Chains A and B, each alone.
Chain A
Amino acid sequence: MKRYAYYLSCINESMTKEVDRSIALWQKDLGIELVHLHESTCCGGSNLDYVSPKHFALVNARNIAHAEKMGLDLVVSCNTCLMTIRSAKKKLDASPELRAEVNEILKKEGLEYRGTSEVRHLLWVLIDDVGLEAIKSKVKVPLSKYRIAPFYGCHILRPSTVLGKDNPLDPSSLDQLIEALGGKTIPYRHKNRCCGFHTLLVAEEESLSVAAEALGEAIEEKADFIVTPCPLCHTVLDGYQSKALKQAHIHSSIPVFHLSEMVGLALGYSPKELGIKRHIVS
């Protein structure tokens, strides 16, 4: 059983509880254990970095230091948390002064940021550590009935200087996972586009128009559902779907699944167990 420190994302603790619930169901089946990091705090959601770069460094040095204390890699299941914590790590690793400054503060808690733990997305762990072959061998209900639109979201791809796993122009990791689970991917031009989440409350119309484009293509290509590795993308594509499609005059709908739910379905868990009923679009 390979162990990881699991970072608790604000959104998965509140609005998208089904993500952590479904991971909890199947993690042992795939030989991994995600140890919840209850001490971790909000990463700043790609906002704290410009409100206060120093607090941003402190907060995320602390998040990572907790994982380092356990001797484990930090695993996240939200794209923006991934990008945010990784970019903090990049800054800390590049600056001995910044590291010294935050460590002076963290010392009081008996913590030290050393840069020994990697920060990784659950999708990457599934592909690189568990392995596609192993996943294939565990599939109980292949997704062969389904045509699936893989929506990667921005912050698992860009900036590639911080992420660097997939080619941001032509990503393939999620496609590979879908195929390992027996599903068929559709050629999906919007796979590496944006969902509009980060301006939902500031420029709603623009955000919804961005989302509607991604939804519209999947609908047009007759996908059975969209799958995303990011709960923020899910919130827009599912929660705001009817509003977005209405604005774009598209009279249709399409279910959106979390990566964790798709894995759960293929491993034989029921939609009810996985919390799929909690989605807005069914």
Chain B
Amino acid sequence: MTVTSEQHIEGKRDVTFRVFRLNPQVDSKPYFDDYTIPVERGITVLRALNYIKENIDASVSYRVFCQAGICGSCGMRINGISKLACTTQVWDELPKCREAGIIKIEPLRNLPLLKDLIVDMDPLVGKMKHYRNWVESSMPEPEMGKKEFLVSEEEFSRYDKATDCILCASCVSECSILRANKEYVSPAVLLKSYRMNVDTRDSLHDVRLAELVQDHGVWDCTHCYRCQETCVKNIPIMEAIHGIREDAIECRGLKDSAGAKHAEAFMSDIEKKGKLVEATLPFRTNGVAWTVKNLLPMAVKMIMKRRTPPPPPLVKSSKGMKQFREEFREMTEHVKDDHKTHNK
């Protein structure tokens, strides 16, 4: 931290904004421009950018609309973290600067860059369309316009939090898997799909779910929780992702996809042994052919280092397994009862 307490008391100081610049029509590669401006305490990063645009350099480009954390336009990376410029206080960023007094402003990641701080949202919109993330009414046509479609409070509570999403794409920018593969569905899209799939008015549930379990869909999420940690509206995105998975297993069964099979292995191993039988996990997830092709060369190295997991018969069960298994099965009965009451 470099701000002296004196300056803090004064509540005014010079701050440098190091802004990412690239105009693909003119520039062959990106560069940074430094703008040093006087900033008062209480000023947001967005207002600082507005000041720069109005007074120093009108060519700096960024998106802005509501200036109040509602529209989701102003997502950008501030000191390396994706967030909204209009709700971020310059003063809060000062202690986080890598170089004292210099706030770094960059565009969101994982979306194509258009200019400076503006990214192309089309791929995200395209995915929203692909997964049909809207309510397709299940009301028969003749009744439309004549009847109300009521949603109970309890029903709404299942997706209440998901409706807070303002599509700012901050989570998208921080996603580990999207970084590795731009085809991946994306956290905000999964959140929206979840929200639609639990909506009682919607009729596309099965179609949407069938698409979500395909390649680049819900099973490709690697549980890194970066999206959730980033969300500017504190939405528990992983609960939505797990919600889709739970639903997929319930509706499509445990043998539906590699992801479901992988998850199922945990359940059945715990019941049988109390432990995961790692040696056969690749076979059970992807079958023998995949395992031989993908893992054999590595397995040889592992065997030489005696690093392979023990074969199933040698996996020692946990102590007190007999009792545990009874408890596990008792819970299975509870779950069956829950489903019965749930389906009534």
Contacts and interface: CB of A to CB of B under 8 A. Distances in A.
Interface of A: 10-11, 13-16, 38-42, 44-55, 58-59, 62, 101-102, 105-106, 108-109, 154-155, 157-160, 168-170, 193-194, 196-199, 201-207, 209-210, 213, 239-240, 243, 277-280
9 contacts: A40-B274, A41-B270, A44-B270, A50-B243, A51-B249, A51-B254, A62-B324, A102-B331, A206-B180
A201 B274 CA distance: 21
A159 B270 contact: no
Contacts of B294: 204
Residue from B177, B225, B229, B281 with most neighbouring chain A CB atoms (10 Å): B225
B138 interface: no
Given A10-B278, A15-B278, A44-B270, A201 B285 contact: yes
B210 interface: no
Contact of B246 (A51, A157, A194): A51
Contacts of A105: 327, 330-331
A255 B270 CA distance: 33
Interface string B254-268: 100011001110110
A58 B331 contact: yes
A55 B282 contact: no
Given A47-B262, A47-B263, A206 B327 contact: no
Contact of B276 (A45, A157, A205): A45
Contacts of A193: 176, 224, 226
B219 interface: yes
B13 interface: no
B263 A50 contact: yes
Interface string B320-344: 1001101110111011001000000
Q: Which interface class (under 10, 10 to 19, 20 to 34, 35 or more) fits B?
A: 35 or more
Contact of B275 (A13, A199, A203): A13
Contacts of B222: 194, 196-199, 203, 206-207, 210
A277 B220 CA distance: 33
A51 B250 CA distance: 9
Given A45-B266, A55-B332, A108-B323, A280 B181 contact: no
A41 B318 contact: yes
Contacts of A49: 242
Nearest to B184: A206
Interface in B228-284: 228-229, 236, 238, 242-243, 245-246, 249, 254, 258-259, 262-264, 266-267, 269-270, 274-276, 278-279, 281-282
B327 A108 contact: yes
- Provide the main secondary structure of the chain B interface: helix
Interface stretch (B115-123, B153-161, B304-312): B304-312
B280 to A, nearest CB: 11
B305 A278 contact: yes
Contacts of B301: 280
A15 B307 contact: yes
Contacts of A50: 242-243, 245-246, 249, 263
A54 B318 contact: no
A155 B331 CA distance: 27
Contact of B274 (A42, A51, A109): A42
A158 B246 CA distance: 21
Given A15-B307, A278-B306, A239 B298 contact: yes
A121 B338 CA distance: 34
Contact of A41 (B245, B307, B324): B324
A43 to B, nearest CB: 9
Contacts of B228: 158-159
B315 interface: yes
Contacts of A278: 305-307
B253 to A, nearest CB: 12
Nearest to A158: B225
A41 B270 CA distance: 7
A225 B264 CA distance: 36
B12 interface: no
A21 to B, nearest CB: 12
Given A58-B327, A201-B286, A206-B184, 20 more contacts: A10-B275, A40-B318, A41-B318, A42-B266, A50-B242, A50-B246, A55-B331, A55-B332, A105-B330, A158-B228, A198-B222, A202-B285, A203-B177, A207-B222, A209-B181, A210-B176, A210-B177, A210-B222, A239-B298, A280-B302
Contacts of A209: 179-181
A23 to B, nearest CB: 18
A14 B309 contact: yes
Contact of A14 (B81, B224, B229, B315): B315
Nearest to A49: B242
B258 A202 contact: yes
Given A53-B246, A54-B335, A279-B305, A154 B224 contact: yes
B209 interface: no
A214 to B, nearest CB: 10
Interface centre among B222, B229, B264 (most CB of A within 10 A): B222
Nearest to B284: A201
Question: Top 7 closest A-B pairs, CB basis?
Answer: A158-B225, A41-B274, A194-B224, A14-B309, A209-B180, A50-B242, A206-B180
